[in-house]
C-alpha cells in the first residue's frame, strides 16, 4: 500500500526537476512512496529520460498535451491527485530541493497531530540566489540564499502560523501536504483559477473556513532553486484576474481588504518577496484582526 504520494507539476524546467528528484534518492524513508510527475505539455517528453530514476524510486510520468486549459497549476495538481494512491498527499513544485528526512517528517507530523482530523501542513522555503547543480543540502547551505519572508512575519509576531488570523495567506503550494481524507472532504484546487497566483490561497482559505487546521512544519523547509523569469507582467495580470475570481467566490470584507492592500504594491513586489511584501502581510493581519474584533467577518 502506498503511504505517501508526492505530486510534482512540471513544465519546461528539466534541470530543476532533476535536482528535485535527486533530493529524493537518499530519503530516510522511501518505502511505500510514489512520485507522480505531471507534465503540462513541455516541448520535450521526458518519460524515457526518467527511466533511470525508476530503478530507485517509484516514479510515474503523466504528459498532458497543450490545449486551452494548459498553464493552470490547479488542473495539473488535480490530475496528479486523481492518479495518486497514497494516504498522505504532498504537492511539491519541481524547483524544490528537499531535506533527506522530508518524507519521514511529513508523515511524522501527521502522526504527532493525529488528534486533529484535517490538517493542511505547510513547509516554508529558503530561496537560492544563484543556480545550482547539486541536490546535496550540505553543499547548498553554503550558497547564498534568502530566508522565507513568512519566517520573518512569524518572527515579527513571535508566534506560530496557526495563531495568525490570516494564516491562509501564508499557505503556498510549493510545499503543501494533506491527508487524502481531507482533500475528499474539502476538495482539491479550484480549476477556475488559471495562470499564476491565489489558487493555493483560495484552497487554504476554504479549508480554514470549513474547519481545517493550517499548520506550519519547520522540519520540512526546503530550498527553492533560482531560475530566470521573464513573465513579470503576465504573473501580475494572472494574480489580478484570479483575485477577482476569489472576490466573486467569497465577497466579504476579509477578501476585499486583501485586494485593497495588494493594489498598493507594484508588479515586482507582488511576484517577488521583499520588504513591501512583508509589510503587506503584517498590515493585512492587523486589518483582519480589527474586522474580527468588530465582528465584521
> Has this prediction a pTM greater than 0.85?
yes
Does any domain span residue 123?
yes
Does any domain span residue 194?
yes
Does any domain span residue 244?
no
Among 16, 9, 5, 171, smallest CA distance to 77 is for: 9
Contact 285, 165 (CB under 8 A): yes
Q: What is the 3-state secondary structure (H, E, C) of 42-111?
A: CCCCCCHHHHHHHHCCCEEEEECCCCCCCCCHHHHHHHHHHHCCCCEEEEECCCEECCCCHHHHHHHHHH
Give residue 260's pLDDT.
82
Does any domain span residue 290?
no
Contact 22, 99 (CB under 8 A): no
Among 27, 25, 32, smallest CA distance to 56 is for: 25
pLDDT per position as a tens digit, 79-126: 999 999 999 999 999 999 999 999 999 999 999 999 999 999 999 999
Residues of the chain with pLDDT under 50: 270-271, 273
Whole domain around residue 53: which residue ranges?
Answer: 4-228
Does any domain span residue 263?
no
- Quote the number of domains for the chain: 1
Give residue 226's pLDDT.
83
What's the angle, vertex CA 281, arms to CA 278 and CA 285, rounded to 5?
Answer: 140
Does any domain span residue 284?
no
Does any domain span residue 112?
yes
CATH code of 213's domain = 3.90.550.10
pLDDT per position as a tens digit, 195-225: 888 999 999 999 999 999 999 999 999 999 9
Does any domain span residue 81?
yes
Amino acid at each position: 500500500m502506498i503511504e505517501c504520494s508526492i505530486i510534482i507539476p512540471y513544465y519546461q524546467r528539466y534541470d530543476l526537476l532533476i535536482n528535485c528528484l535527486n533530493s529524493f534518492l537518499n530519503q530516510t524513508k522511501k518505502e511505500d512512496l510514489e512520485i507522480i510527475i505531471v507534465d503540462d505539455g513541455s516541448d520535450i517528453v521526458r518519460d524515457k529520460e526518467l527511466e533511470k530514476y525508476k530503478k530507485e524510486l517509484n516514479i510515474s510520468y503523466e504528459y498532458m498535451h497543450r490545449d486551452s486549459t494548459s498553464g493552470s497549476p490547479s488542473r495539473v495538481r488535480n490530475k496528479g491527485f486523481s492518479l495518486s494512491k497514497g494516504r498522505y498527499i504532498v504537492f511539491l513544485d519541481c524547483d524544490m530541493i528537499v531535506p533527506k528526512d522530508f518524507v519521514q517528517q511529513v508523515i511524522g507530523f501527521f502522526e504527532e497531530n493525529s488528534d486533529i482530523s484535517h490538517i493542511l501542513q505547510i513547509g516554508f522555503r529558503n530561496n537560492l540566489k544563484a543556480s545550482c547543480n547539486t541536490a546535496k543540502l550540505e553543499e547548498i547551505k553554503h550558497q547564498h540564499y534568502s530566508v522565507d519572508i513568512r519566517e520573518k512575519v512569524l518572527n515579527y509576531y513571535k508566534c506560530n502560523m496557526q495563531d495568525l488570523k490570516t494564516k491562509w495567506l501564508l499557505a503556498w503550494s510549493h510545499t503543501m501536504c494533506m491527508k487524502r481524507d481531507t482533500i475528499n472532504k474539502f476538495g482539491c484546487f479550484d480549476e477556475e483559477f488559471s495562470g499564476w497566483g491565489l489558487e493555493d490561497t483560495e484552497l487554504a482559505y476554504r479549508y480554514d473556513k470549513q474547519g481545517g487546521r493550517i499548520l506550519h512544519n519547520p522540519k520540512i523547509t526546503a530550498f527553492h532553486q533560482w531560475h530566470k523569469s521573464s513573465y513579470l507582467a503576465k504573473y501580475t495580470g494572472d494574480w489580478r484576474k484570479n483575485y477577482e475570481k476569489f472576490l466573486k467566490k467569497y465577497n466579504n470584507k476579509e477578501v476585499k481588504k486583501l485586494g485593497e492592500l495588494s493594489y498598493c504594491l507594484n508588479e515586482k513586489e507582488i511576484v517577488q518577496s521583499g520588504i513591501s511584501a512583508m509589510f503587506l502581510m503584517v498590515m493585512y493581519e492587523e486589518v483582519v484582526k480589527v474586522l474580527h474584533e468588530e465582528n465584521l467577518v
